[in-house]
Chains A and B, each alone.
Chain A
Amino acid sequence: MATIAAPSLASAEDAYAENSGIWSWITTTDHKRIGTLYLWTALFFFLVGGLEAVLIRTQLAKPNMGFVSAETYNQLFTMHGTTMVFLAIMPLSAAFFNYLIPLQIGARDVAFPRLNAFSYWVFLFGGIFITVPILFQVAPNGGWFGYAPLTTNQFSAGPNIDFWVLGLQILGISSLAAAFNFITTIINLRAPGMTLMRMPMFTWMSFVVQFLLVLAFPPITIALFFLLMDRFFGTTFYEIAAGADPLLWQHLFWVFGHPEVYILILPAFGLVSEVLPTFSKKPLFGYNVMVYSGIMIGTLGFGVWAHHMFAVGMGPVADSIFSMMTMLIAIPTGVKIFNWIATMWSGEIRFTVPMKFAIALIAMFTIGGISGVMHSSPPADLQQTDTYFIVAHFHYVLFGGSIMGIFAGIYHYYPKMTGRFLNESAGNWHFWLNFIGFNLTFFPMHFSGMLGMPRRIYTYDAGQGWDLFNMLSTVGTYILVVSTSIFVVNFLRSRTRGLKAGNDPWGAGTLEWSIPSPPPDYNFAQIPEVTSRYPLWDLKDPAKTAGIAHSHADSATITDAHAVPVHEETERHTAKSLGIPMPFPTSKPFFTALAMVSMFSGLLFRRSGHDSIALTVVVGGALLFVSGLYSWLTSPLE
């Protein structure tokens, strides 16, 4: 989205507001600053979700504990899942999409800078909307999957689920808007010579993820809309007495929910695919196959949703098909594991903190992947479903995979984002305590699950063989508290006290390392023409890529009249002094997002019986939203 009307002339001075103060953050359209906002916000929610996990594990430490009530426990596990999926891992990935994609493809910003700001503000307001109720004990309590009819008025009469339905609807809009933006950015803003098959692997995996977002979010939007209609307007979508199908929600939810798993993991796969070659001093092994396997994972991801539903009795045909599809998806995933190992093979490995996290991802994700293949078989799944075995499985995938990969990315890119390194020895403490705490928390869950301990119970009786495993899990969680605290202190302190990092502190090969750290607002003073997958290695260490097809410069001649050869930019200018037009700062996305979220929140008044207030807020919010949109679209971008 950009201007509909002709841009009116604005004085050049207006274009470059000062880059400090809270107003500059509210009005920013710079992808790097928006990425930074995503990073801080998502890390905050990560801590909130972690705190919820600590309360859960404290309650489960011993049999028959009374630390929290059953109702509070329901709210805690619901919000732990919802927070980690929608408010921590997804936006942490979005932080990297924002920060890295333009830098990796040689662009000065995303395709729609203001839409990008809008996505962030919608995410922030949606996150607040769905999180705050827990402070008042009215948080969502129907699980992160919110199965209807359990979540209809009949079984969940309070406002708890209202917050969840409306909150997820809001967060979905943020994700969709961002996905349209990044698809356009990756297709249309690549530097000359940056062909699709020369794109860095992080950008490739992000590209796949954007398509998953675009195609997977609509089904849950509709499922949530039905639930919203049922809850607020008395429709019968999930009303069994009216003839509704109790599996409708499950199908619509998992058509979204399974691709969502790949939305959570593929960005982490992309990040470690940047880290491993850098610290092995070798190009990524099997680049093409890594691309194809990413696309395969994304495509097959839409054909496996019903493996979440083997226990509902879909019949042998459906079970067989979904079982087979699920086993198939292990192939492209396995290919990635082997390619990462082959990337390290005979490389000059440097065991830095990001490298350790990346290797941890390979090992831990493999464990989670193998337990996943176990329950792709319906007879095995019937034993394992709804037990702690499943909890162990998906935490090995999402914590052992996504979170390890995101930490690898944070340690790797912190110097690029801040110009300083994270402290290495604190990083090592963080890594090892994290690794030990993670395994101590989740490995015993395989056993408690196999011994029959169900998920989502707030307490249990002694003498069922679960006591030791639960105590181990709780001890592991407290080790994770220590390791995460070390990380938080390191993250905050290193901003001012970390060792200074130059353009390319790790000796990496892709474009983002050719510019200063942190990058100036315009990113690239001169747009480079890319001739290989690791242009910086061609420039600085040609031996590294010599003889490897596509990794070494294919040709030295520059073909694009507007571009210059890949080079290191060491001087720091301003966009103004270089005459580079930059998007104006604007508060319009902020207020448009605020209006949209108010519109949704108006429905809450209907729950309390104030229909006229509800109508006023919804209609008022809608009018403000539309006028905000008009004002935004008719003002010039730059």
Chain B
Amino acid sequence: MSSHAAAAHGAHGAGHDDGHAHHHYTTTGLEHRKIAIWAFIGSECMLFASLISTYLIYKGRSIVGPFPHTEWVNEAGVVFKPILNIPVTSASTFVLLMSSLAMVLALQAVQLKDTPLPDGANWWTRAQRSSQGWLLMTALLGMTFLGFQAFEFASFVHEGLTIKTNLFGSTFYTLTGFHGAHVTAGVLWLFTLLFIDRKRGLGPKDELIVDIAALYWHFVDVVWIAIFTLVYLIQ
């Protein structure tokens, strides 16, 4: 990031000793990373659009089972139940959506870090200020979701569906696996923020780095809503 503002006057020393990045001139007034994350999310939309379209195109085209919503009997007469477990995945979906709420509260906590608590603040107002608590909760909810996914994958494999079995297996595991990889990256990102928060404390000046993580996290959640609806709910 080059500094127009500083150097326009032709005299600017190494004024970096205040511990955090000084103000850079930008055309829009927005930070570069804020614009870049939106461009990145735009690109990610096309990534998931391609994956979801492929899943939908291949829906019902598998020659052998197990199938997502219908029973399948193989040549030996073994019965394979419909494989998707909607109640369990509804629970994991709820967990992931709650993680978005926790993320919103984490960002708010960072923004409010320097604002003094009002007199007689109740427990909730105090709790709202705990950026570390909310970051940790977001990450733990994300990890819970991943735990559900691991359980789901393991039980599907146990029931006879692997990534090689049929078109459903290939498209299902690849789509949800791609999403799971995104959640994993997000959890890593959240723990990194948590580490920084514990090390030096995140405050309003760090709003941007929490904000872009939050944008990413919400995006990953929104994608899951699309996947849950199109893959699990619509038969």
Chain A residues engaging chain B, CB cutoff 8 angstroms: 1-7, 9, 12, 107-109, 111-113, 176, 179-181, 183-184, 187-192, 194, 214-219, 221-223, 225-226, 229, 233-237, 241-245, 248, 252, 255, 522, 525-527, 562-564, 578-583, 630, 636-638
Q: A188-B27, A244-B58 are in contact. List 12 more A-B contacts (CB 8 A).
A: A2-B1, A7-B21, A112-B1, A180-B36, A188-B28, A215-B46, A218-B43, A218-B49, A236-B169, A237-B54, A243-B58, A526-B7
- State how many angstroms separate the Cβ of A321 from the closest Cβ of chain B: 18
Chain B residues engaging chain A, CB cutoff 8 angstroms: 1-14, 16-17, 19-21, 25-28, 30, 32-33, 35-36, 39-40, 42-44, 46-47, 49-51, 54, 57-58, 61-63, 163-164, 166-167, 169-171, 174, 192, 196, 200, 209
Say which residue of A108, A187, A221 sits within 8 Å of B28 (CB atoms): A187
Contacts of A107 in B (CB 8 A): 2, 4
Q: Is the CB of A108 within 8 A of B196?
A: no
Q: Is the CB of A109 within 8 A of B33?
A: no
Say which residue of A191, A194, A236, A578 sits within 8 Å of B167 (CB atoms): A236
Q: Is the CB of B3 within 8 A of A581?
A: yes
Q: Is the CB of A562 within 8 A of B4?
A: yes
In this complex, what residue of A is CB-closest to B3? A581
Q: Is the CB of B170 within 8 A of A236?
A: yes
Q: Known: A245-B58, A581-B6, A638-B1. Is A188-B50 also a contact (CB below 8 A)?
A: no
Q: Is the CB of A176 within 8 A of B32?
A: no
Contacts of B10 in A (CB 8 A): 525-526, 578-579
Contacts of A248 in B (CB 8 A): 54, 57-58
Q: Is the CB of A188 within 8 A of B30?
A: yes
Q: Is the CB of B33 within 8 A of A1?
A: yes
- State how many angstroms separate the Cβ of B16 from the closest Cβ of chain A: 6
Say which residue of B14, B32, B44 sits within 8 Å of A188 (CB atoms): B32
Q: Is the CB of A111 within 8 A of B32?
A: yes
Contacts of B47 in A (CB 8 A): 218, 221-222
Contacts of A222 in B (CB 8 A): 47, 50-51, 54
Contacts of B19 in A (CB 8 A): 6
Q: Known: A527-B8, A581-B12. Is A219-B2 also a contact (CB below 8 A)?
A: no
- State how many angstroms separate the Cβ of A351 from the closest Cβ of chain B: 38
7 pairs, CB–CB < 8 Å, chain A vs chain B:
A5-B200, A181-B36, A187-B27, A191-B4, A222-B54, A248-B54, A562-B4
Residue of A225, A235, A248 with highest tally of chain B CB at under 10 A = A235
The answer for the CA separation of A223 and B51 in the assembled complex, in Å, is 9
Contacts of B25 in A (CB 8 A): 527, 562
Q: Is the CB of A9 within 8 A of B17?
A: yes
Q: Known: A188-B30, A219-B46, A243-B63. Is A235-B164 also a contact (CB below 8 A)?
A: yes
The answer for the CA separation of A219 and B54 in the assembled complex, in Å, is 10
In this complex, what residue of B is CB-closest to A219? B50
The answer for the CA separation of A522 and B5 in the assembled complex, in Å, is 13
Contacts of A2 in B (CB 8 A): 1, 21, 32-33
In this complex, what residue of A is CB-closest to B54? A248
The answer for the CA separation of A4 and B39 in the assembled complex, in Å, is 19
The answer for the CA separation of A234 and B165 in the assembled complex, in Å, is 9
Q: Is the CB of A223 within 8 A of B50?
A: yes
Q: Known: A1-B36, A243-B63. Is A111-B1 also a contact (CB below 8 A)?
A: yes
Contacts of B3 in A (CB 8 A): 108, 580-581
Say which residue of B8, B28, B169, B209 sits within 8 Å of A4 (CB atoms): B209
The answer for the CA separation of A9 and B57 in the assembled complex, in Å, is 55
Q: Is the CB of A4 within 8 A of B166?
A: no
The answer for the CA separation of A461 and B203 in the assembled complex, in Å, is 76
Say which residue of B7, B8, B35, B167 sits within 8 Å of A183 (CB atoms): B35
